[in-house]
Amino acid sequence: MQASKFQQLLGNRMFRSFIAFSIFRAFYGVGILAATYFLSTSAEAPWPVSVGFLLCSMVFSRWLFKRIKGRKNTNGDSEPTNEL
């Protein structure tokens, strides 16, 4: 019975989207933190530049994820979903 609950969870479109966004944010976040570290140490930029960069990256990452997700949906994501 546990396997069917797990399969239902994996079949849920919202859960799959959450997992995809989490994976995307993990990889994207490492890159952003590395760039911010470079800005604050090597480039000797003032701290408002780093904060501004982080704020802009939040908006950009959401836009980029929507574009990636939209491309996936237009490529034929016609699987039946188990909406709860």
30-69 confidence digits (pLDDT tens): 999 898 888 888 877 788 888 899 999 989 988 888 887 7
61-72 confidence digits (pLDDT tens): 888 888 877 876
CB of 9 closer than 8 Å to CB of 77 = no
Q: Is residue 20 domain-resident?
A: no
7-17 confidence digits (pLDDT tens): 888 888 888 88
Quote the pLDDT of residue 76: 54
Residue 58 domain boundaries: 44-72
Q: Is residue 51 domain-resident?
A: yes
Helices (H), 12-84: 13-41, 47-74
Number of domains in the chain: 1
pLDDT at residue 81 greater than cutoff 60: no
Task: For tokens 């990256």, name the residue.
Answer: 57
Q: Is residue 12 domain-resident?
A: no
Quote the pLDDT of residue 84: 45
The Cα–Cα gap between 49 and 67 comes to: 27
Q: Is residue 34 domain-resident?
A: no
The Cα–Cα gap between 27 and 32 comes to: 9
